[in-house]
Amino acid sequence: MPELPEAETIARGLHAAIAGQRVQRVRVHREEVVEPMTPAAFRRALTGRRVQSVSRRAKWIVASLDDGARWVTQLRMTGRFTWNPPSALRTEPHLSISLLLDGTQGGGVLRFYDIRRFGRVWVLDPAGWSALDARLGIEPLSREFSRRSLAGLLDGSRAPLRNVLLDQKRVAGLGNVYANEACYLAQLDPRRLAQDLDESEIERLHRAIKTVLRSAVERRGTSFSDYRDILGGEGEFQNDLEVYGRSGEPCRRCGGAIARIVLAGRSAFFCPGCQH
Ligand SMILES: [Zn+2]
């Protein structure tokens, strides 16, 4: 499932490809992808609009349109964009939406595919976007995400540390891959209660979250199976994972075996030898 680094990579690719271009035609191949909008309302909201920029918020892709609206995409499990030279809009397996864009530097067709069908694509007016934005937590790569703000998010929480990091209302964009990796880098056991971390542990965790996410953005994300950038390229961070998906393999820090447990319904990976 794409997390912050994958969404960031896709958003940057989309910005380079479609910023400044105008949407000429829209086809909705699967109605559920735009719910609760209707396909007609979605087409109306996008057709004729110029895309001003494309960025990321949490795990969402957010395109700003020239009428002030935001076209937002939640990739969820398997949502994926492709960008190709202009061609007829056609129907294909797993194709949810296609858009014909036309810019001064040549347009193209943007397609959104989704095998598992959990992805969602909407157009929100400024008030709708503000409401969504307000429900999301702090951006961990922003200046506002300080040691002190992290301490505030952990304070008083009796949930395991890894789970608090997954809560999008607290820290936006971290998912299971990078939450586990951050705990490893900070040498913290993901089962620890968030409220029990002392000041130096919070400092380590704060640094680890920033380091893991920055490296993963630099490596264009982690590709296990479905994630690709908009030109079909794979990320490279899967080669740098220390714990995620490595249960039974040796820890590169202490040589002990990486463990996998189920924590609140989801896998947690960590090294019992050097994460405390
Ligand atoms: Zn270890």
**254 alpha carbon – ligand 1 mean position (Å):** 4
The pair phi, psi for residue 110, each rounded to 5°, is -100, 125
List 25's β-bridge partners, or say none.
100
In angstroms, how far is the first alpha carbon of the chain from the final one? 27
Token pair recorded at residue 63: 């395109």
Cα angle: 150, vertex 268, 119; to 5 degrees = 80
Phi, psi of 95 (to 5 degrees): -75, 125
pLDDT at 105 (0 to 100): 66
**Euclidean distance between CA atoms 166 and 178, whole angstroms:** 9
Centroid of ligand 1 to alpha carbon of 273 (angstroms):
5
Residue pair 33/121 in contact (Cβ under 8 Å)? The answer is yes
**DSSP letter at 24?**
E
Q: What was the pLDDT predicted at 104?
A: 66
- Domain range annotation of the chain: 4-135, 147-270
Kindly give the distance from the C-alpha atom of residue 53 to the centroid of ligand 1, in angstroms, as a whole number. Answer: 43
Kindly give the parts of the chain with pLDDT less than 70: 104-105
CA 173 to centroid of ligand 1, rounded, Å? 26
pTM of the model: 0.95
Q: Using the mean position of ligand 1's atoms as its centre, give its distance from the Cα of residue 35 in Å.
A: 45
Q: For residue 135, how far is its CA from the centre of ligand 1 (angstroms)? A: 36
**Start-end of H helices in the chain:** 4-18, 39-46, 126-135, 147-154, 161-166, 176-185, 199-218
DSSP assigned state of 50: B
Distance CA 155, CA 274 (A): 24
Per DSSP, the residues of 202-230 read HHHHHHHHHHHHHHHHHTT---SSS---T
CATH number for the domain whose boundaries are 4-135: 3.20.190.10
What does the alpha-carbon distance between residue 184 and residue 205 come to, in Å, rounded to a whole number?
Answer: 9
Say how many Å lie between the CA of residue 257 and the centre of ligand 1.
7
pLDDT digits (tens, 9 = 90+) for 33-81: 999 999 999 999 999 999 999 999 999 999 999 999 999 999 988 889 9
36 preceded by cis ω (within 30°)? yes
Active-site residues, by number, are: 2-3, 59, 266
The CATH number for 147-270, chosen from 2.102.10.10, 3.30.70.270, 1.10.10.10, 1.10.8.50, is 1.10.8.50
